[in-house]
Amino acid sequence: MVEKKSEPASRGRGRPRVETAPLDEKAIVAAGLAFLDQAGEAAVTLRGVARRLGVTPMAVSHHTGGRDGLLARVIAAAHAGLEVPAGNQRAPAAEVATAILAYAKAARHHPAAVAALFARPDLMPEELKRFSAWVREQIALRDPSMADRGLALLIDYVHGHLLAASAGPEDPGMDQTFCRNVEQLARWVLAE
């Protein structure tokens, strides 16, 4: 007896199936982060991510809620893993400097995410908001009148370094000077 091959079930109307892995937020964010790192915030588009993943822009939008949602997720991923020290107890200046340097090290991997936040501060990830609040609180515990200025001074110094460092080749001497300066600046801002 000869076995008949079964005919594939006929498809109904509509968009043809694309034989790809299921689309998920992790893949979307990874593709968006690659665009951010390569060409900056303007390159992170629904269309570009969709093209890279072999799906439609609407599929990406469905998972992210649109371009702002996509960009917010990409910026959050760029800052993922930022450790926010626990508690609101007064920490030594050296601990605050260490936390700021850890932020700088993490942000250095994705300097375009820092630049994107200059353009879109409304997309600041919760993790980064908590970190900034912790640094501000550390300053306020010493001198409440210096909290906002001190936070701006420390963070602006870090961001200035990140933008300068991303513009050229790695310079270990510049990094060592930066670390020393952050430690000195933290001691000065924290009055220690």
Using 50, 70 and 90 to split pLDDT, how confident is the model at 46? Answer: very high
Contact 153, 184 (CB under 8 A): no
Rounded to 5 degrees, φ, ψ at 165 are -65, -35
Q: Tell me what pLDDT residue 68 has.
A: 96
In the chain, where the domains are located: 25-78, 93-189
Least confident window among 90-99, 106-115, 150-159: 106-115
Is a pLDDT exceeding 60 seen at residue 19? no
Residues 6+ apart with CB under 8 A from 128: 79, 82, 117
pTM score, whole prediction:
0.80
**CATH number for the domain whose boundaries are 25-78:** 1.10.10.60
Q: Averaging pLDDT over each range in 42-51, 102-111, 114-123, which range is the top one?
A: 42-51
Contact 162, 111 (CB under 8 A): yes
Cα 128 to Cα 8, 104, 165: the distances in Å are 52, 12, 21
- How does the average pLDDT of the chain come out, rounded? 88
